[in-house]
Amino acid sequence: MALFGLFGNKKKGFASPWLQLTVVYVATRQDLTADQAYLLRGKVLAAGSIQFDFFEPASFQLFFAGNAAGLQKAQALADALQQVARDNGIVGIGISVQQGECLAERSESGRFVARPVGPVLAQTMREATSRAEAAAAGLSGPA
């Protein structure tokens, strides 16, 4: 049902369903201890994103505003997560930060009615997963 709302409804005054967003995808490819997982989760919760989703195994996708302030918050989160990884022996982590248009509808509270879709989401997931797999294989450090 929410999908139909993505195409706009001029009578109700809905804005364009395409939003410029900053997307962060964090993927891990190692078994995390409870302490490691809570440290990562704490940084994610404190990041000030519009919304985030958690996926198994231990991956996060976060959405920030698609402006300079959103990009700054997203990059600060990426830097903080890389530092947590270095300080706590998390080697199989990959992080990607990108901006792009997503098809999305926001509720009056500002949250998304359904998970946004668009090429930038697949790009961030693919890049972060590739980095995590390389890091877990010992080809590079946290990235």
Beta strands 51-55 and 93-103 are unpaired
Q: Which numeric CATH code is attached to 17-136?
A: 3.30.70.1230
Tens of pLDDT, residues 74-102? 999 999 999 999 999 998 999 999 999 99
Tens of pLDDT, residues 22-32? 999 999 988 88
Q: Which of 47-51, 104-108, 136-140 has the lowest mean pLDDT?
A: 136-140
Q: Which of 14-23, 40-49, 83-92 has the lowest mean pLDDT?
A: 14-23
3 has a pLDDT exceeding 60: no
Q: Which residue has the higher pLDDT, 3 or 68?
A: 68
* Rounded-to-integer distance, Cα 71 and Cα 67, Å: 6
Separation of CA 57 from chain center? 14
Domain boundaries defined on the chain: 17-136
Q: Which residue has the higher pLDDT, 30 or 130?
A: 130
Task: Give the pLDDT confidence score for residue 82 in this predicted structure.
Answer: 96
